[in-house]
Structure 1
Amino acid sequence: MRHAYTPTVAELEAFCACARGGTTIQAARQLGLTQSAVSRSITGLEARLGVALFSRARQRLTLSDAGRAFLREAEPLLDRLNDAAMTVMAFGGQARVLRLAVLPTFARLWLIPRLRGFQATMPDLTIDMAARLAPVDFETEPFDLAIQRTQHRSAGARHIHLLDEELCVVAAPALAPGSLSPRAVLRLPLLQQSTRPTLWPDWCRAVGLDPRPALRGARFDHFDMVLDAAVAGLGVALIPEILARSALDRQALLRVVPGDFRTGQAYTLIYPDRSADLPHFARFRGWLQAEIEDIWA
C-alpha cells in the first residue's frame, strides 16, 4: 500500500532534475515538461514530506540539508526503477530470458562466437549477458548463472567444474619466430594482466627462475587486451590456452615455450538453487558442457 508521504515517480524525477539543473526551467527542458508542471511537483513533494528541499534565491534552487540527504536516496531509487524496467524490456516479447555473468575475455573470445548454435535450439530465449570479474551475489543480483574461475565461487551457490585453467606462453612471429628457453623469455617485454599480477612470477617459480624480473612490462586490464597486445608484437603473453587458441590456429601467435602452465584455477559454472528448475538453464548447462568436451575431442 502506498502511504500518503511516499513520493510519486514524477515528483522524484522533478526533484532530481532540479537538483542537477539548479532551476525549474532547466529541469523542465530535461524532462520534456512545462516549468509549471515541474514547480507543482516540487511544491507537492515538499508538502508531502513536510520539509523544504531547496532554498530559493533569484530563481536559483539550492539543495537544503534535507534535500541533500534526500538526493542520496532518490537518485539510486530512480536508477533501480530504470534498471528494473530495462530488465523486463529485455524479454523483447520472448517468453524467457537467461541472465549470465561471464568473465569478459572468456565471453568475447570463446562464448559469444558459439552462442548462435545454442540460440538456434531455443529461438524463444533472450540472452542477457554481463561481464563480471567479481563474485556474483545471487541473493541480490538477478543472474541465473555465472561462468568464472574457481576463486569466484559464491556462498550458497552450486558449482560445476568446466575445465582447468592452463596458460601458454605466446608471442607474435615477428617478435619470437621460434621456441625460446624460459630464461630467454624474460629478456623480452612481458605483457602483464593487471588484475592477476602474480601470473608471470608464478610461472617463473614453476620453471625454476627468479620471479623478480617478471613484473616488468606493459599492463592491461583484461586478457583480451593482453592478447591483442601480443598479436601486435608488443611483448610475450601468458594467456589461457582456451582464449589463445584462435590466434594460435591462424598463426597470429606462436607458442614460444612448449607445454602449458596450470594455475590451480578452473573455469566453473556457478548458479543458485533457483536456476536448477529453469528448463532453459538446464538446456544451456548441457550445451555448455558439450561445447567444453568438444575442445578435447
Structure 2
Amino acid sequence: MPLARLPSMSALIAFEAAARHESFTHAARELCLTESAISRQINGLESSLQIQLFVRVKQRVMLTKAGSLYSEQVRDILRTLERNTISIAAHGSGEGSLELAVLPTFATEWLIPRLPGFYEQHPKMKVNMGVKTNPFSFEEEHFEAAIHHGKPIWPRATSDFLFREEMILVARADLIGTSIKKTADVLKFPLLYSTTRPESWKQWFAAAGIPSNSTPVQSFGFELHSMLVRAAQSGLGIALVPGFLVPEQAWRDGLVRAHEISIPADDSYYLVYPNNMRHSAPLEAFREWILEQAQKFGNEKPN
C-alpha cells in the first residue's frame, strides 16, 4: 500500500488553529489570513486524509471525533517542532536552554542551591528540570541530559563522573537519646530505608559487624531520599541516607547522627547526555560548570 502524502505545514497550522478555536473566523484572525483561505486549507486536508474533521452547522464548525483526536496529535507535533527548532537554533550561540532530567532530592538539596552561580556566568541560558528517577531513552524523551545515580552504563551516551557519596545514620535526638551504646542497639528502633537501594542496610550491617540476618523491630521503605529524611525528622526511626542530602534545617530541628559508622555508596552520580549532543552550547556550558562544582564538592571535608 503506498504511503499517504503528508499534509503541508500550512494546512496543519491552519487546522490546529481552527480546531483550537472551533472557528475558521478566529483561526483566520490569529494567522492573519482570510476565512476562505482557512476553509481551503481544511478542505484540502480532509480530502487528502479522506476523513471529515469538522461538522459544519450554519455559521459554526465543530470537531468530529476523528478531528478532535487528530488535533491533539497535530498540536503535540507542532509544539515539539517549535521546541526543537528553538533548541537547535541555540546550539551554536551563547543563549538557549537545556532540558535536564534530575533526581528530585539531588536537585533540591545540591543542584538548585548552586544554580545562581551558573546563571551569573551564563545569564542568557536556562536549565529546565524534570524528574526522572530511572534510566530512560533519550530518543523517546525531550530531555537532553540527565543526572544519574548508578553505574556509568547508558546506551549511546556519555557519562561524566560527578562524585560518590557517604551513607550515614540519622534520627531525632529525642528518639534515640543515649540508648545506642553499641552497633547492635540500632536494631531496637525502626529502620528506614530507600526502596531504590534495598540492600543498603545489609551493607551497613556488614561494616558495623552486625550479622546479616539480624532484623530490626520494624522497618519502613520510602522511594525518595527527601521522604526518608522527613520520616527521620518525624521520629519514625533511624534512616540510612546520603549525608549531603540532609538539609541544614533538619540538623537545626533536632536531627543527629545516630551512629558514627558511615559507608560509601556502591554507585556514583553522573551527568549523562547523548553522544550527539556535544555540539550543544547550553549543554557544554552546563557540563563545564557542574563538573567544576562537583570537583569542589568532592574536595570539601565532610561535616
Deviations 1:14-49 (A, max 9, x none): 44x59xxxxx58x999xx98xxx7x95765542342
CA separation of 1:51/1:269 partners in 2, compared to 1, >3 Å: closer, same or farther? closer
CA separation of 1:188/1:143 partners in 2, compared to 1, >3 Å: closer, same or farther? same
Unaligned ranges ≥5, structure 1: 19-23
Identity of aligned residues (%): 29
1:1-297 aligned at under 5 Å gives the runs 5-6=7-8, 7-12=11-16, 14-15=18-19, 24=22, 40=39, 45-53=45-53, 63=65, 70=70, 73-74=73-74, 76-78=76-78, 80-81=80-81, 83-84=83-84, 95-139=95-139, 141=141, 143-151=143-151, 153-178=153-178, 180=180, 181-204=182-205, 207-210=210-213, 216-217=219-220, 219-244=221-246, 246-247=248-249, 250=252, 252-276=254-278, 278=281, 279-281=284-286, 283-296=288-301
**Residue 256 of structure 1 aligns to a residue in which SS?**
strand
Using the size of structure 1 for normalisation, the TM-score is 0.71
CA separation of 1:253/1:117 partners in 2, compared to 1, >3 Å: closer, same or farther? same
Once the 2 structures are TM-superposed, how far is the Cα of residue 248 of structure 1 from its aligned partner? 6.6
**Residue 175 of structure 1 aligns to a residue in which SS?**
helix
Hey, what's the Cα distance between the residues in 1 that align with 2:179 and 2:113? 30
Once the 2 structures are TM-superposed, how far is the Cα of residue 236 of structure 1 from its aligned partner? 1.9
Once the 2 structures are TM-superposed, how far is the Cα of residue 153 of structure 1 from its aligned partner? 3.4
CA separation of 1:235/1:283 partners in 2, compared to 1, >3 Å: closer, same or farther? same
| Residue type at the aligned position of 1:101 | A
Assess if the C-alpha contact under 8 Å between 1:194 and 1:220 holds in 2: yes
Assess if the C-alpha contact under 8 Å between 2:225 and 2:241 holds in 1: yes
* Larger deviation, residues 206-215 vs 164-173: 206-215
* Larger deviation, residues 82-91 vs 142-151: 82-91
Assess if the C-alpha contact under 8 Å between 1:136 and 1:146 holds in 2: no
Once the 2 structures are TM-superposed, how far is the Cα of residue 211 of structure 1 from its aligned partner? 5.8
CA separation of 1:82/1:261 partners in 2, compared to 1, >3 Å: closer, same or farther? same
Deviations 1:137-173 (A, max 9, x none): 4455555543221236312322233222321111111
Assess if the C-alpha contact under 8 Å between 1:201 and 1:212 holds in 2: no
* Larger deviation, residues 236-245 vs 140-149: 140-149
CA separation of 1:130/1:223 partners in 2, compared to 1, >3 Å: closer, same or farther? same
Hey, what's the Cα distance between the residues in 1 that align with 2:238 and 2:197? 16
Hey, what's the Cα distance between the residues in 1 that align with 2:155 and 2:218? 33
RMSD: 4.3
Unaligned ranges ≥5, structure 2: none
| Residue type at the aligned position of 1:134 | N
Assess if the C-alpha contact under 8 Å between 1:190 and 1:216 holds in 2: yes
CA separation of 1:248/1:55 partners in 2, compared to 1, >3 Å: closer, same or farther? closer
Assess if the C-alpha contact under 8 Å between 1:179 and 1:257 holds in 2: no
**Residue 259 of structure 1 aligns to a residue in which SS?**
strand
Using the size of structure 2 for normalisation, the TM-score is 0.70
Match of 1:21 in 2: none
